[in-house]
Each structure stands twice: as C-alpha cells, then as structure tokens.
Structure 1
C-alpha cells in the first residue's frame, strides 16, 4: 500500500519539474501550480505528521489551540515559546520606526511590556478572530466554531457545516490574509447501530507554501478534526486537503530536492488523553502521540 505522505511528495516533485515560475507578493519568487488534493484516513488513529523531515507537531497543535482561543496577539504565543508569527509584526515595526531591532530583542519586549505588545504584537483580525468572533455589518459577533459543534449535535446531515476566515471587510487590517481559509465538515454512517458516525473535514487552502506551511497545516487540521469529533461523540474519518495556489519558493529548491529523495516512515498514532467540557478547554498535554520517527529537520527561510 502506498504511503499517504507520497501524495505530498508528488506535489513537491511536480512543482520542481513543472511548476510555473512566478513573481509573488514577497518578491522571492515561486514555482507554482493551481489545484492539488491530499486525503488522509484518520479512522485508525493515524496522525499525519510528515516524516521525510522532522515536523514539530507540538508547535503546530499549539498554534491550532491558539486559533481556537480567538486571540490575535503574538504575546500569548511567545509565552508558549512559539515564534512562527513574529516575522510579520517585526517587519511592520522595523519599517515604521526604522529601528534595526533583532527578533530576539523584539520578542523580549513583547513579553516584558504589555503596552508594547498591544501596539506592536497584534496581528489584526486574523484566523482566531474570524473563527470565534466574526463581526457582521450590524456589529454582531458570530462564533463560527461553536455553531459547527452545535449543528453536528443537532443536525449532522446538514450541508452547511463550515466556517471560514476570508472576511472581505477586514482583510486590509490583517498582518497576513488567511491561507487555510475554509473548513467544511461531513458526517457519514448516521443511523448505523454497530458504530459511531464518522466525521470528516475538508480544508480549502487558497495559498500554500508547500515546504514550510503544508506539513504544519496538515498536522494541526488533523488535530482539530480529532478534537471536534470527540466533542460530538463521533469517530474521526478523513482529512481532505485542497490547495489553490500551491507553491515552492525559489529559495527552498535545494531543501525540496533533499526532502523528495527520502522515503517516509509510518505515521505516528494519536489519542486524546481526556475529553474536556468544551472545544475551548483542550491543552497540548491532551495529545498523546506515539511512534513518531522522522528524517532530520530541513531548515528554510520564511518569505514575509
């Protein structure tokens, strides 16, 4: 049986061999393709943490937990030793002030000075804000995630179980426009007495940095599916990932060639150690991951 990670490696190979060379927003340049899909069966407890390079799955899951809080300031992330969002506010601060501050010093100021963090650490109305506090034209806030969980409990055959972050009215206030923008749920096996219903999740990612972004995103989306399935007393089914503009940055080519030369190991398993009272109460300690074996890490710069 073909390893499911080969789907990812096939996309990377396609980009290396046939990607359309493009100038992009960052100025770095990419090899791009339009339209890709991967499917991961999670019903046996597999956790799609890619193995052809080391993926820091705890960091990925912590970011997902942060999204679910609805927060938008990097201070809380830095308190968890997560630095993956620092580049954008740091770049904004340097351009606004002309100060050639190091990332380390900038992060230290964010952690030590709440007023500084409030001014310079906020990312604008990014993912968590839209997921949990979407504001409509009348000023009312909508908790999209809570709405999904309620619908899964009361009307699981609905075709309207989705949430998204592409709030046109607030895009210009965001440090980064949403990449993984639409999450849609589907329930199979309703009315079967011999087993629980199976919950699947499809994610549309309009823009995907295939080397750095995709391994993180796939892992954390699987974690989200596991949490939601547990909250509604269902079994995880499939995670289906669909990419729009899928691209490989031109300064990631050697790293990509190294990764596709490697053979994947079996995916690890994941179980949730407890069932919290709500989707808001999960902690990283609730994720028990076993059997993760990977090749060495592959470092690459982030395009801002």
Structure 2
C-alpha cells in the first residue's frame, strides 16, 4: 500500500476522533452561502516522508501532479503573484480585477535581499547555498512577511521551507532533506496537493544541485477538516490503498529555471475515483 495513504488515513482519523470542533466559535472563513465554515482541527501535526523510497501521492483519489507542479513553479520559478500566469483557476477567488493576489507568495520569492555575497532573491539564495555551502544550517525561505501582510489577498498558508543536507554511508552524493512549515491546511482540498508539490520541489532542487532526495517533513500548525468535508473524508479513508506510483523527473534538466510542468510524471499511478464538487471556504 502507498505510505502516503497510510499517513493520510491516520491523520484524518485522529483529527475526526480527537480534534477540536470549532462549531459555535468565532471563525473567519465562510461558505459561498455566507454561513460560517466550521472545522474539526488538530494542532501540531507532523508527517514524515522518505522521498528516496516512495513518492507521496495519494491513491485514495488522484492528485493532479501537473497542476500542483504548475502552481509550485508559478511561486518558486516564475515568482508571480498574478493568476494570469497560472494554468488552473484555484486562485481566482483571491485575485483582483487585474489578476493580482497582492504581495503574496511568488511576489515575496522575487524580492531581492542583500547578502555578503551579493543580491539574491530567496530561491536563488537557496540554490547558491546548496551548491556552495551545503552543510549550512541557514538554508531557508520565509514568505510570511509581516510588513506586507496588509497588501496580501491571502496570508501565506505554506510559508517556510528549511533545507538540510546529510550524507548516507556509502553514497557518493549528498542527500537533500527539507521541512515545510504550514500555518493552516485544509486536509481534504489541499493536504496531498501541498505534499506532492513540495516533494516535487525537493526532487528538482536535488537534481540541479547534484544531490539525492531524502526526507520531507511536513509540519502543520492547524490541520483541519471543514464541517461539510467530514462525510467526504469518511468515504475517502474507507477506501483500500493501492501501490504507490513511480516518480519521473526529466533527467536532462540541470537548471531549475528550465523545468516545466511537463517535466514531471507519475508512472503506473493507480487511483480510486476523484472526490468531486468539494465546497471551498473563503
């Protein structure tokens, strides 16, 4: 069975059985009909995935690998904050009439900062350090920039990556590991989407920096299931997990800025039916 399925099932069961129900409390999100969007939540969920063993895509339902890669590249490679640069429509609810989501996500990745070695944006700094100072304990990004929050149409949910390099005994190459910090995660709509896209990112950075992939640790401060999602989750986690797919990344690409969504594939990806018409709280 897919290890990612096992992690997902156990997390969902724990949230539903042992989480905090926010019904009746003051909450920010609402459904399209204007009613409050309550959740069952757990604090401090930590999930670990060994990317050297398996790619963490759910088989309980299909995760659209090209679409989640497209969003990842929109933020990390294009460093864009305009939905017109994105193929999907997942950000439409947070964009203004010009397509901008404000000073959020990709905008922050493109801001250059002064370092001793010169001016870098956060992505280029990560790549520089992985290539030139891989054992540094300071290789990280952070897009939760407080002075710009008032100009963001949505505060960043997945806001920080910390990279750490190790070496396995008997291996010639170094191993790239990473932690994703997320303040909030809609488990049904976005959990495996985020897991897959940041697993793709680690694979991409490892390849262009001539490393092997290692562990991906996903830290979620508020992992929640919306009230209207609970029946969908119950049905989803009742399904029988299938074998994990094989991950393919175009081996010819050695420049992070040359990757496209077509350079990523999941081979032999068997899944159950998709969960459709998922209501999204805004």
The question of a shared fold, defined as TM-score above 0.5 by the shorter chain, is answered with: yes
Contact 1:230 1:275 in 2 (8 A): no
Number of the residue aligned with 2:253: 276
- The equivalent position to 1:172 in structure 2, one of 145, 150, 159, is 150
Tell me: CA distance 1:195–1:5, structure 2 relative to 1, closer, same or farther (3 Å).
farther
Describe the superposition over 1:81-112 as per-residue Cα deviations: whole angstroms up to 9, x where unpaired.
Answer: x01111223xx6xxxxxxxxxxxxxxxxxxxx
State the alpha-carbon separation in 1 of the partners of residues 52 and 100 from structure 2: 38
Q: CA deviation at 1:272?
A: 1.6
Counterparts of 1:292 and 1:43 in 2: how far apart (Å)? Answer: 17
Query: Among residues 87, 90, 109, which one is paired with 2:93 in the alignment?
Result: 87
Higher helix share: 1
Correspondence for 1:227 among 187, 201, 204: 204
Give RMSD over aligned pairs: 2.0
Alpha-carbon distance change, 251 to 35 in structure 1, aligned in 2, over 3 angstroms: same
Deviations 1:139-164, CA, capped at 9 Å, x for gaps: x9751111011111111111101001
Cα distance in 1 for partners of 2:56, 2:269 equals 10
Q: Return closer, same or farther for 1:135/1:197 CA change in 2, 3 Å cut-off.
A: closer
1:294 match: secondary structure: coil
Corresponding residue number in structure 1 for 2:176? 199
TM-score under structure 2 normalisation? 0.89
What runs of 5+ residues in structure 2 fail to find an aligned partner?
30-35
- What TM-score, normalized to structure 1? 0.83
User: Structure 1 stretches of 5 or more lacking a match?
Assistant: 93-118
Kindly report which structure 2 residues correspond to 1:118-267, keeping only aligned pairs within 5 A, or say none: 119-133=97-111, 142-189=120-167, 194-267=171-244
How far does the alpha carbon of each residue in 1:172-196 deviate from its partner, in whole angstroms, 9 at most, with x for none? 1111111111101111118x66421
Aligned length: 268
Quote the Cα distance in structure 1 between the aligned partners of 2:270 and 2:2. Answer: 18
